[in-house]
Chain A
Amino acid sequence: MASHSSPTFLDNLKALPGNLWNAIFRHGRPTSDRARSQAVFSNVFLHIHSARVHPHSLRLATTWGLGVGLVAQFIILTVTGILLMVYYMPAIGMAYDSMKDIHYVVPTGRVIRNVHRWASHMMVVFVILHMMRVFYTASYKKPREFNWMVGMILFVLTLALAFTGYILPWDQLAYWALTIAANIAGSPNELTASLGFAEGFKPGDVLKELLLGSSEAGQHSLIRFYTLHCVFLPVLTTIAVAVHFWRIRKDGGLARPQGTPTPAGGHPPKVGPAPSMAAPAVQVEEAPRKTYGLMCVVRDRSPHTGKDPDETVPSWPYLLRAELLVFMVVMLMCVALGYFFDAPLRELANPALPENPAKAPWYFLGLQEIVSYSAFVGGIVIPTLTIIGLGLIPFLDREEEAPGIWFSGPRGRRAAAQAAVFAMIAAVLTVAIPVNFGWLRNWFPGIHQLVIIFVNPGTLLTAAYIVWSLVVIRRTRSTRLGGIALFTCFVVGFVILTYVGTYLRGPNWDFYWSTSQWPGH
């Protein structure tokens, strides 16, 4: 049998480098388009890309690189975060000192911490911009509804990661943010108490104690938030990002306007009646009852019907080059900001004395503004409604239209502009009326707390935005325009309230036109 002489040990040794290489990389050297496409196809890290990509997806104005930028930030945060864990100690007697060590003693510690902090702020900004891009180009529409919801989950996870992160230094910001957040979690008590439930019935305490591990912020809370920040939330985020990527591919790549040809694997936008996207069931019927291959699973008549491969360009090098560029720009921004601007560290946590004013980081100041009208409604009801409302937009607006066009054309641009003006006026009034005239409690001192909970500037603003969108739907008979109005109201309201919280609120959360008017200046 052994007609061929089996290779000797020495032969194996000589062939080792080549065989090792071939065992790792199953494609040839990337010297041709075909070889590079094979590499993208067979490499586990590259296979999240399709082998070929449409030039429209590569244009800067299609995505502004925001999604890839978010991945870049997440990678930067993971790497710098692991480095910070080398020195950080999650114990209340040591956490603050270890932050000082990281800043002043640890080699490169200052820059690493700053980069971590700047990358997290940029991630919050990019998530919001990415959401705006997807929304205004109608890229959430069928079949991408579910991926929009995954995106909403990632939005919440990003904010949760940011929040749990700034708890860890255990400075004044951390301690009071934790106290306030835990009490927001416990604020359903406010509702049950004003509804006249028994004294001992405190449904909010369950969530509060789950977060704090205690009834007050302390060591048990810190270790819980450390675990959330370093393990639980990053793992959840990684899983959600994987689903998000997967669905981009399965939903036909990036959304494109009608008329732009589709690459292989996608499906062309169709006019007329709803295309039968949920085709697999039909196709299984069409396919004979036997084992079937890729051809039967791909959502179309065949993976390549009606598509000219020449419309697309290979992902390697075009897409990889674009991604690398975005990555480098993000990296440069983080490092430059981190080198010149230090992440703040307030005084050591002091449970006896909150800072005055005690302000959250900028992205929560809009929330702090509506929480200053009611804890339960501003801290729980309105944010939950906002997330659910935004998440459900693709199901409430199912108008057929080609995605990829900003504002879906001039009518949408006009609807967005009108909504922006309305949202701005409503948000300014929301702040200006209570500041100048007080609110219900100033007018009727004995007023029942239930009225304050449900009739306050925050709830009225939310209601005004919802009513405006419904009016737009009624007048234009277009759910898409109503959606544009609602989303614009949300964005503008967020920006205005954030601005007010950041620049116009001073000691005791009183209104000041500038910090120079604060008492003590």
Chain B
Amino acid sequence: MSGRIEPESISRRDYLGLAGVGSATAAVVFCTVGMLRLPKPRVLPDVSGLLRLGNASKFPPATVTVLPEHKVCVFGTDDGIAVMSLVCTHLGCIVQKTETGFDCPCHGSKFGPQGELLAGPAPRRLPWWAVSQSPDGTILVDLAKEVAASEAYRA
């Protein structure tokens, strides 16, 4: 029963002072954290991630259609249609079509005719987007869903 150590007594004035400073610090920290939450948006005010490209007949086999306004490139083949992003995987510029494939104007990343990474600072190839067809024949592109090259083509 003798193991208990009596805490050193603290004067009432010191106790109240420490309590005051402590609660003020807690309040400031609490308010700061609360305020810092504001600039992080809960809902992103973005454009729709679903792109409608019209009828599949607009993209016949053996054609490559660049649609810079949608930041995609549409490949028409005998196997179907594939849609590739034109947004550089380095820092988000729009790549431009050249004789060798796609070049980025901002930092010199170079991609092949199928978007494969050739040179430059980009960390990876240009992504393929998931393509589907609505019952009325409209081509739908899901700009949030990346797919592997083998799954890129939809008849």
Interface, chain A (partner B; CB < 8 A): 176, 179-180, 182-184, 187, 190, 193-194, 206, 209-210, 213-216, 218-220, 224, 351-358, 368, 371-375, 378-379, 438-439, 441-442, 445, 449, 452-453, 456, 507-510
CB pair A190 B119 closer than 8 Å? no
CB pair A193 B105 closer than 8 Å? no
B6 contacts the other chain (CB 8 A): no
> Nearest Cβ distance between residue B89 and chain A, in whole angstroms?
9
Provided the pairs A179-B91, A373-B121 are in contact, do residues A220 and B41 lie with their beta carbons within 8 angstroms? yes
Provided the pairs A373-B121, A449-B124 are in contact, do residues A187 and B105 lie with their beta carbons within 8 angstroms? no
Interface, chain B (partner A; CB < 8 A): 39-41, 44-47, 68-69, 71, 90-94, 96, 98, 103-108, 110, 117-121, 123-124
CB pair B93 A441 closer than 8 Å? no
CB pair A176 B106 closer than 8 Å? yes
Provided the pairs A213-B41, A214-B46, A216-B46 are in contact, do residues A353 and B94 lie with their beta carbons within 8 angstroms? yes
Instruction: Write out the residue numbers on chain B whose beta carbons fall within 8 Å of the beta carbon of A456.
Output: 121
CB pair A352 B69 closer than 8 Å? yes
> Nearest Cβ distance between residue B48 and chain A, in whole angstroms?
12
Interface-centre pick from A220, A449, A508 (highest chain B CB count, 10 A):
A508
Once the chains are docked, how many angstroms separate the CA of A453 from the CA of B71? 26
Provided the pairs A176-B93, A206-B40, A352-B69 are in contact, do residues A213 and B45 lie with their beta carbons within 8 angstroms? yes
CB pair B68 A356 closer than 8 Å? no
> Nearest Cβ distance between residue A192 and chain B, in whole angstroms?
11
Instruction: Write out the residue numbers on chain B whose beta carbons fall within 8 Å of the beta carbon of A357.
Output: 105-106
Once the chains are docked, how many angstroms separate the CA of A217 from the CA of B52? 22
Instruction: Write out the residue numbers on chain A whose beta carbons fall within 8 Å of the beta carbon of B39.
Output: 210, 213, 224
Instruction: Write out the residue numbers on chain A whose beta carbons fall within 8 Å of the beta carbon of B103.
Output: 508
Instruction: Write out the residue numbers on chain B whose beta carbons fall within 8 Å of the beta carbon of A368.
Output: 107
CB pair A508 B124 closer than 8 Å? no
Write the chain A residue with the least CB distance to B40.
A210
Q: A375: which of B41, B47, B121 is its contact (CB, 8 Å)?
A: B121
Once the chains are docked, how many angstroms separate the CA of A195 from the CA of B105? 28
CB pair B96 A374 closer than 8 Å? no
Write the chain B residue with the least CB distance to A354.
B93
CB pair A441 B69 closer than 8 Å? no
CB pair B44 A509 closer than 8 Å? no
CB pair A441 B68 closer than 8 Å? no
Q: List 11 A-B contacts (CB under 8 A).
A: A179-B92, A180-B93, A183-B90, A183-B92, A190-B123, A194-B123, A220-B41, A372-B120, A372-B121, A441-B120, A509-B107
Instruction: Write out the residue numbers on chain B whose beta carbons fall within 8 Å of the beta carbon of A508.
Output: 96, 98, 103-105, 108, 110
Provided the pairs A352-B69, A356-B105, A508-B108 are in contact, do residues A374 and B121 lie with their beta carbons within 8 angstroms? yes
> Nearest Cβ distance between residue A368 and chain B, in whole angstroms?
7
Main secondary structure of the interface of A (DSSP, over half): helix
Main secondary structure of the interface of B (DSSP, over half): loop
Q: B41: which of A214, A351, A371, A510 is its contact (CB, 8 Å)?
A: A214
Once the chains are docked, how many angstroms separate the CA of A445 from the CA of B120? 11
Instruction: Write out the residue numbers on chain A whose beta carbons fall within 8 Å of the beta carbon of B119.
Output: 438-439, 441-442
Write the chain B residue with the least CB distance to A508.
B103
> Nearest Cβ distance between residue A355 and chain B, in whole angstroms?
7
Write the chain B residue with the least CB distance to A199.
B146
Interface-centre pick from A182, A194, A356 (highest chain B CB count, 10 A):
A356
CB pair A441 B118 closer than 8 Å? yes
CB pair B108 A371 closer than 8 Å? no
Instruction: Write out the residue numbers on chain A whose beta carbons fall within 8 Å of the beta carbon of B105.
Output: 354-358, 507-509
Once the chains are docked, how many angstroms separate the CA of A509 from the CA of B41? 34
> Nearest Cβ distance between residue B153 and chain A, in whole angstroms?
22
Supply 11 further A-B pairs (C-beta < 8 A) apart from A210-B40, A378-B121: A176-B106, A180-B91, A214-B44, A215-B44, A352-B69, A354-B106, A355-B105, A356-B96, A358-B106, A438-B119, A507-B105
> Nearest Cβ distance between residue B119 and chain A, in whole angstroms?
5
Interface-centre pick from B47, B103, B108 (highest chain A CB count, 10 A):
B108
Once the chains are docked, how many angstroms separate the CA of A209 from the CA of B107? 23
Q: A220: which of B45, B69, B96, B123 is its contact (CB, 8 Å)?
A: B45
Once the chains are docked, how many angstroms separate the CA of A368 from the CA of B120? 13
Once the chains are docked, how many angstroms separate the CA of A355 from the CA of B96? 11
> Nearest Cβ distance between residue B120 and chain A, in whole angstroms?
7
CB pair B45 A214 closer than 8 Å? yes
CB pair A372 B41 closer than 8 Å? no
Write the chain A residue with the least CB distance to B68.
A352
> Nearest Cβ distance between residue A369 and chain B, in whole angstroms?
9
> Nearest Cβ distance between residue B35 and chain A, in whole angstroms?
13
